[in-house]
Amino acid sequence: MSATKKIVRRSLPTSENKFATQLHPLLQRVYATRGVSDDKSLDYSLSVLEPMSSLKGIDDAVQLLAQALAEQQHILIVADFDADGATSCVVAMRALRLMGAQQVSYLVPNRFEYGYGLTPEIVELAKQQQPGLIVTVDNGISSIEGVAQAVAAGIRVLVTDHHLPGAELPNADAIVNPNQPGDTFPSKNLAGVGVIFYVMLALRTHLRATGWFEQQSLAEPNLATLLDIVALGTVADVVPLDHNNRVLVSQGLARIRSGACCAGINALLTVGRRNSANIVAADLGFAVGPRLNAAGRLEDMSLGIECLLADDPDAAMLLAQRLDELNRERREIEGEMQAQALDCLAKIKLDIDDETTPIGLCLFDEGWHQGVIGIVASRIKDRYHRPVIAFALANADDAEMIGAEIKGSARSIKGVHMRDVLDAVAARNPGLLTKFGGHAMAAGMTLKAADFAAFEVAFNEELRRCVDSEILQDVIHSDGELSSEELTLALAEALRAAGPWGQAFPEPIFDGLFDVVQQRIVGEKHLKLVLQPIGSSVTIDAIAFNHSEMAGEQLQAAYRLDVNEYQGRRTVQLMIEHIAS
């Protein structure tokens, strides 16, 4: 049984709005409930980005990179195998080439062979390329052994990351991570791609001051040309969109809309059937990000990196089409795994007051695909509104399970800090977790298959210490009811343009009671409706995706006011998020 949802309307803050510009009263209300009450918070110009000088370790990072450029050392980028890692790698590659690097290459670990981060095995692989400097992007803060091995081999290491550090930091030559101890950078929510973008900005500033570009007869690069890639990685990694991140995303979206994006993003938008002229952040998150991630989940993220590095539109399109094929394959695998998980969970009665009921859901099947468990965990988390960890065999060939390891991908809910929970589990149960790391909302871990049951017990014991029934109540926060006069295309367009919306800065959701004028099932699993607000003569189209049950004569719905574009015609429609039972 899925978690029950309730619609709760956001309460307006008592502070006074101080907008100097004219804003629709609805937008003022929406912004106010998200902590925005003046024009400064809506200024998305690059001039208001937080200063790079407050990032701890950035001066050391710049010195390492500047020396590598001056000596034309081989710079090797070691990237993570997700969309943030891929975009981080591309930003580093493109920026360093623009600044005169003649030997810069990348290495992205195959998740099925080498695991996550700068592992000792990856260092051995890297040594074959004889790099003078290794730069990790979107990883490295937990790579204690790998960094030590690289340093021992005479390779300097620059770690750029945004993940939460453990008790020990790697002994790298420089570390740039806004979440490391002692860092005063105001925005702790930078994605990995945001961190490396800041490092490249600082490097350019240093090279400009030392006359590097004139000495090398190089044009000083405009790094704003990389903001489409920065925006993609930031949105795809689902980091909170604080003001600083909204600046980065807004600037990147503006470049894409103006036709100034890289060939790879343009190709991925095309295969995702999105019009680049009017895309929003959600299009990056739902159309581009998953196709990019499919490479790392099923094959090799090098495919996604090459797509974003391609300058030739035809070459980029071929790579994008292959990524689209992989994404279709990923969806099929995910569907099968999700069905198996739901069959298993159908036998469990989930009751917070019953001490025998698991709060956190731990799922494992020997046949599951390691690259897809994160998505399955996310889907189950959304359905049941509970922390979920999905596990797969670390080595798919280890069918006999003797001494086998399993890898888990965790997704959490608001109020449950997943990495802190895992940290507590590890402290109370030494040796149970081989390794782990991550964020508040997502984490990864490795343990012995034989310890799965023991981990499930320890995980739920820890959750019972920090979770109550209120946290497990799935709440849809509504921005209130719209009048029939407000259900217009103009307001829908204004709401789209008012973003970028995303994690911790959610797109507005409204609620209301409607008469059902027409309804039908389309595509076998979507409910298409024509609705009429109670007491009004206005009718409006609506659709509830993945809702195959017919509604009654009336319904209460939580919805987004959106724009439907079909054959060049734009109309207003309600995107229904929830139909109250």
Dump pLDDT digits (tens) for 73-93. Answer: 999 999 988 999 999 999 999
Beta-bridge partner residues of 575:
543, 560
DSSP reduced 3-state for 244: helix
Q: Strand 569-579 to strand 554-566: parallel, antiparallel, or no bridges (unpaired)?
A: antiparallel
Percent of the chain exceeding pLDDT 90 equals 77
Residue pair 253/517 in contact (Cβ under 8 Å)? The answer is no
Residue pair 22/494 in contact (Cβ under 8 Å)? The answer is no
Q: How many CB atoms lie within 10 A of CB 148?
A: 16
Nearest to 155 by CA among 135, 139, 141: 135
Residue 154 structure tokens: 């005479």
Domains and CATH numbers, the chain: 53-324 (3.90.1640.30), 348-474 (3.10.310.30), 476-579 (2.40.50.460)
Q: Where are the alpha helices (DSSP H) in 71-138?
A: 83-98, 120-127
DSSP reduced 3-state for 30: helix
Flag the least confident range among 149-163, 434-448, 452-466: 434-448
What confidence tens digit (pLDDT) does each residue in 167-214 have? 899 999 999 999 999 999 999 999 999 999 999 999 999 999 999 999
Give the whole-angstrom CA distance, residue 237 versus residue 214.
37
Flag the least confident range among 225-229, 278-282, 439-443: 439-443
**Residue 299 or residue 181, greater confidence:** 181
DSSP reduced 3-state for 402: coil
Q: How many CB atoms lie within 10 A of CB 124?
A: 14
pLDDT at 381: 93
Checking if the pLDDT of 297 tops 90, the result is no
Q: How many CB atoms lie within 10 A of CB 63?
A: 15
pLDDT at 399: 55
**Residue 176 or residue 466, greater confidence:** 176
pLDDT at 396: 66
Nearest to 204 by CA among 100, 134, 104: 100
Specify the residue for token string 């995107």: 575
pLDDT at 353: 57
Give the whole-angstrom CA distance, residue 547 versus residue 154.
58
Q: What is the strand order of the sheet 361-364 is part of?
A: 361-364, 388-393, 405-411, 442-448, 435-438
pLDDT at 300: 85
What confidence tens digit (pLDDT) does each residue in 213-263 have? 999 999 999 999 999 999 999 999 999 999 999 999 999 999 999 999 999
User: Mean pLDDT across the stretch 157-170?
Assistant: 94
Give the whole-angstrom CA distance, residue 381 versus residue 410.
9
Percent of the chain exceeding pLDDT 70 equals 96
Phi first, then psi, for residue 109 (nearest 5°) are: -60, 140
pLDDT at 350: 64
pLDDT at 567: 77
The three state secondary structure string of 284-313 is HHHHHHHHHHHHHHHCCCHHHHHHHHCCCH
Beta-carbon contacts of 430 under 8 Å, excluding residues fewer than 6 positions away, are: none
Residue pair 291/337 in contact (Cβ under 8 Å)? The answer is no
DSSP reduced 3-state for 241: coil
What confidence tens digit (pLDDT) does each residue in 471-502 have? 888 999 999 999 999 999 999 999 999 999 99
pLDDT at 271: 97
What confidence tens digit (pLDDT) does each residue in 309-367 have? 999 999 999 999 999 999 999 999 999 999 999 988 887 766 655 666 789 999 999 99
Checking if the pLDDT of 510 tops 60, the result is yes
Q: If you count them, how many residues does the chain have?
A: 581
The whole-chain average pLDDT of the chain stands at 92
Residue 507 structure tokens: 């797109």
Global confidence as pTM: 0.91
DSSP reduced 3-state for 142: coil
pLDDT at 432: 95
